[in-house]
């Protein structure tokens, strides 16, 4: 078991995920034999992680210290903060504390994984207080692009450690949940030992626009569209869904919902009172055909260009119930997540080609960030007045700029700590120091597989995508040193076989000689013959084509006895 270099009179804080990256937010605050976990998120894969659905942290340190973990507390219901919950619960069953919307979303996830009845769940509000033997947890309301967002204050024997979660200071939120500036100021006045604060927009010298401002822009767009509207946004952005639905009802439009996650968002939003939409405002897909175009709104997922989301299938012409009609207006009410720009642009192009008018981008004022810019980050620092500062939730350059903002707000630069996942910061009442490191790498989720896709598999996938594969099939009798059939060579994604007969024939002759030579060697084995085929054919093909396809020998062994 990994033991931290932390003294008995020190608290420890660390990121299992979320440091030096956007996503995977999972943080620990530890005092002696008690650990409070904050969030359990996923990260969406970069383009080079071929076939990977998403990425979670390596939970090994937490598993080794599972008896110390008292609670998993959740700041809000976005995937980069709750997407890892079912995977964490499979190896670490601890009580979960979350606000109403986050709890509803977590229950859905646990049910999908067959864990709902085995996990202890507690719904909290910003007024809740959790008491443990040595630590206490309180909450304060913040604003983000999803309701029920809270920051977390962990009261340890050496001082208060505050983790903001994702936030901006939206003073006119459409959900009527303004940030609790008084509670933040009270925490600051009583003394914050260390502030862990969201760094996502640390590069932007702005005060992020209010959701109400986006609502005004969307209302103006609805006023000027005569035909059908297709509105795409994140299913988790209840505020944006509310704005779209309110405008649809104001213009006498019926609402059709497409996408499983969007359906779930509407159900949760109505049950929790965030969406005031009567039953008769909704229509089914088959009812759309009987309604005039100017009396319909299609609300769907797919604003990030996800291949299987409703909007992508509409753009590709593969959706069973909806196709683009002349005059349709498609509104992308979100900005592409880093890595998704190409797929989003592809969907936009296909929609335009099909005859739709597409509204997207900052120029149309139809999206605002859920994260505060530099001015809001400075306000948080001024309210909390921390002795020490640890920027979180951001890539390195964002964390670095955030420490510079902290210095402008009175936190000495040597009191700020830019950390990597697995780094441990030890805090006493007056001092902070680095106190070791534990392994906190990435674990890849591919379908139902957890962690069974590693660097070797990813390298193979990269090679296949770039260079293709060459399969060698032969039947051999090793005992008699005979080639009974073959070798045959098949190419997929490397060369077009009909036009490369001469190359493949020469390759077959070469492989034939290689197999015969390998079988005659002392202690020849199936493995040694396979390796000889790979080495020789790779050299031959590179010499002829300057490419490195994957070589896959398939040997049928006869006469082993």
Residues 23-34, mean pLDDT to the nearest whole number: 96
- CA separation for the pair 105, 43 (Å, rounded): 17
Q: What is the pLDDT of residue 363?
A: 56
Tell me the chain's radius of gyration from C-alpha atoms: 28
Overall average pLDDT of the 358-375 stretch: 82
Q: Is 122 annotated as a binding residue?
A: no
Q: Provide the 10 A C-beta neighbour count for residue 374.
A: 20
76 and 165 Cβ atoms separated by less than 8 Å: yes
Please check the confidence at residue 47 and state whether its pLDDT lies above 60. Answer: no
| 144 assigned to a ligand binding site | yes
Calpha distance 458→456 (Å, rounded): 5
Q: Is 415 a catalytic residue?
A: no
Catalytic residue selected from 170, 198, 246, 328: 198
pLDDT at 46: 60
Q: Is 437 annotated as a binding residue?
A: no
Label residue 24 left, alpha or beta by phi (over 0 means left) and psi (-120 to 50 means alpha): left
Most confident of 337-346, 403-412, 497-506: 403-412
* 369 marked as binding residue: yes
CATH architecture of 455-557: Roll (3.10)
Q: Which residue in 157, 151, 153, 159 sits closest to 133, CA to CA? A: 157
Tell me the CB-side half-sphere exposure of residue 298, using CA atoms within 13 A.
30
pLDDT at 175 (0 to 100)? 84
C-alpha to C-alpha distance for 1 and 66, rounded to whole angstroms: 11
**Whole-angstrom Cα distance, residue 374 to residue 381?**
11
What is the separation, in whole angstroms, between the first and last Cα of the chain? 48
**Quick check: do 211-359 and 455-557 share a fold?**
no
Beta 96-98 vs 69-73: how paired, if at all? parallel
pLDDT given for residue 336 in this prediction? 67
**Is 166 known as a binding-site position?**
yes
371 is catalytic: yes
State yes or no: pLDDT of 211 exceeds 80.
Answer: yes
Across residues 546-559, what is the average pLDDT? 77
- At CB < 8 A and 24+ separation, what contacts does 281-288 make? 281/245, 281/248, 281/249, 281/254, 281/255, 282/254, 282/255, 282/256, 282/257, 283/254, 283/255, 283/256, 284/256, 285/256, 285/258, 285/321, 285/322, 286/321, 287/254, 287/256, 288/256, 288/321, 288/322
Q: Name the 3-class secondary structure at 375.
A: helix
Gap between the Cα atoms of 311 and 235, Å rounded? 13
Q: Which CATH superfamily is domain 11-206+369-447 in?
A: Ribonuclease Z/Hydroxyacylglutathione hydrolase-like (3.60.15.10)
Per-residue confidence (pLDDT) for residue 398, from 0 to 100: 96
**Residue 368, annotated ligand binder?**
yes
Q: Each residue of 541-552: pLDDT tens digit?
A: 878 777 777 788
Tokens 């683009």 found at: 324
Q: Is 51 annotated as a binding residue?
A: yes
Cα separations in angstroms, 253 against 105, 244, 247, 258, 528: 28, 11, 8, 16, 70
* pLDDT score for 456: 47
Q: What is the DSSP letter of 558?
A: E
Minimal CA–CA distance to 245: which of 283, 276, 213?
A: 276
* Cα separation, 457 vs 471, whole angstroms: 18
Q: What is the mean pLDDT of residues 363-374?
A: 83
- Mean pLDDT to the nearest integer, 401-411: 98
Residues above pLDDT 70, as percent of the chain:
90
Is residue 371 annotated as involved in ligand binding? yes
Dihedral pair phi/psi, residue 487, rounded to 5°? -80, 145
For the stretch 148-193, pLDDT in tens is 999 999 999 999 999 999 999 999 998 889 999 999 999 999 999 9
Between 388 and 22, residue with greater pLDDT:
388
- Average pLDDT value for the chain: 87
pLDDT score for 498 = 63
pLDDT greater than 90 at residue 137: yes
**Out of 176-180, 286-290, 519-523, which region has the weakest mean confidence (pLDDT)?**
519-523
CB within 8 A of 250, min separation 6: which ones? 219, 222
Task: Consult the annotation and say whether 76 binds a ligand.
Answer: yes
Which sequence spans correspond to the domains of the chain? 11-206+369-447, 211-359, 455-557
- Name the fold adopted by 211-359: Rossmann fold (3.40.50)
CB 261 within 8 A of CB 302: no
pLDDT at 452: 44
Confidence of residue 556 (pLDDT cuts 50, 70, 90): confident
Query: To which H or E segment does residue 34 belong?
Result: strand 34-38
Say whether pLDDT at 206 is over 90. Answer: yes
d(CA 357, CA 327): 7
Nearest partner of 155 among 14, 36, 75, 19, judged by Cα = 36
Q: Is 78 annotated as a binding residue?
A: yes
Could you tell me the two tokens for 284? 């089914």
Paired tokens of 240: 């944006």
Residue 55 has pLDDT above 70, yes or no: yes
Query: What's the pLDDT tens digit per position in 248-263?
Result: 999 999 999 998 889 9
**Does pLDDT of 407 surpass 50?**
yes
What integer pLDDT is reported at residue 561 of this predicted model? 46
Of the listed 39, 155, 246, 371, which one is catalytic?
A: 371
- With contact defined as beta carbons under 8 Å apart, do 240 and 280 qualify? no
Peptide bond into 487 cis (omega under 30): yes
User: Could you report the per-residue pLDDT of 448-491, keeping only the tens digit for each?
Assistant: 445 444 454 445 445 555 567 788 888 888 777 778 777 888 77
Is 370 marked as binding a ligand?
yes
- Where is average pLDDT lowest: 57-71, 142-156, 270-284, 336-350? 336-350
Q: Which of 411, 420, 417, 460 is nearest to 438 (CA)?
A: 420
Both tokens of 59, joined, read: 């939970």
Q: Establish whether 286 is an annotated binding residue.
A: no
H or E element that contains 50: none
To the question of whether residue 53 is assigned a binding role by annotation, the answer is yes
Look at residue 394 in the predicted model and tell me its pLDDT: 94
Q: Quick one: three-class SS letters along 115-184?
A: CHHHCCEEECCCCCEEECCCCEEEEEECECCCCCCEEEEEEECCEEEEECCCCECCCCCCCCCCCCHHHH
Which structure tokens are listed for 196? Answer: 């862990």
């Amino acid at each position: 078991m990994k033991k931290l270099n932390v003294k008995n009179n020190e608290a420890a804080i660390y990121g299992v995920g979320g440091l030096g990256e956007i996503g995977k937010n999972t943080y620990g605050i530890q005092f002696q034999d008690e650990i409070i976990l904050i969030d359990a998120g996923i990260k969406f894969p970069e383009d080079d992680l071929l076939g990977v659905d998403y990425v979670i942290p390596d939970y090994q340190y937490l598993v080794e210290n599972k008896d110390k973990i008292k609670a998993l507390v959740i700041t809000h219901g976005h995937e980069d903060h709750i997407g890892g919950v079912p995977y964490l619960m499979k190896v670490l069953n601890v009580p979960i504390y979350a606000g109403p919307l986050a709890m509803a979303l977590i229950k859905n996830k646990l049910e999908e994984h067959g864990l709902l009845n085995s996990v202890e769940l507690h719904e909290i509000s910003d007024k809740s207080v959790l008491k443990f033997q040595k630590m206490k947890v309180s909450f304060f309301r913040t604003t983000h692009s999803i309701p029920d967002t809270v920051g977390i204050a962990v009261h340890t024997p050496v001082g208060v450690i505050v983790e903001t979660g994702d936030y901006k200071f939206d003073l006119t939120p459409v959900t009527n949940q303004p940030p609790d500036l008084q509670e933040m100021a009270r925490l600051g006045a009583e003394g914050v030992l260390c502030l862990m604060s969201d760094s996502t927009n640390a590069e932007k010298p702005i005060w992020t626009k209010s959701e109400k401002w986006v609502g005004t822009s969307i209302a103006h767009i609805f006023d000027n569209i005569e035909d059908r509207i297709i509105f795409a946004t994140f299913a988790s952005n209840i505020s944006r869904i509310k704005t779209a639905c309110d405008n649809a009802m104001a213009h006498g439009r019926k609402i059709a919902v497409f996408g499983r996650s969007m359906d779930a968002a509407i159900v949760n939003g109505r049950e929790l009172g965030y969406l005031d939409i009567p039953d008769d405002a909704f229509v089914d897909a088959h009812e759309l055909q009987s309604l005039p175009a100017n009396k319909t709104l299609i609300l769907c997922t797919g604003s990030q260009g996800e291949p299987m989301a409703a909007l992508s299938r509409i753009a590709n012409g593969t959706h069973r119930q909806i196709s683009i009609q002349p005059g349709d207006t498609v509104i992308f009410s979100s900005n592409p997540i880093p890595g998704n720009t190409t797929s989003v642009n592809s969907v936009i192009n296909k929609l335009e080609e099909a005859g739709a008018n597409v509204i997207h981008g900052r120029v149309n004022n139809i999206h605002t960030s859920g994260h505060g810019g530099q001015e809001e980050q400075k306000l948080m620092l001024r309210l909390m007045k921390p002795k020490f500062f640890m920027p979180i939730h951001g890539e390195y350059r964002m964390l670095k700029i955030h420490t510079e903002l902290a210095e402008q707000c009175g936190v000495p630069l040597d009191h700020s700590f830019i950390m990597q996942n697995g780094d441990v910061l030890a805090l006493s009442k007056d001092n902070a120091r680095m106190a070791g490191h534990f392994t906190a790498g990435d674990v890849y989720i591919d379908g139902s597989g957890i962690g069974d896709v590693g660097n070797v598999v990813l390298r193979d996938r990269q090679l296949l995508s770039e260079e293709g594969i060459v399969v060698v099939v032969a039947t051999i009798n090793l005992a008699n040193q005979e080639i009974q059939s073959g070798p045959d060579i098949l190419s997929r994604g490397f060369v077009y076989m009909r036009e490369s007969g001469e190359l493949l024939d020469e390759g077959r002759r070469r492989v034939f000689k290689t197999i015969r030579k390998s079988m005659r060697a002392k202690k020849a084995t199936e493995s040694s013959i396979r390796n000889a085929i790979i080495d020789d054919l790779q050299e031959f093909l590179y010499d002829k084509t300057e490419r490195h396809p994957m070589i896959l020998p398939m040997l049928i062994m006869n006469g082993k006895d």
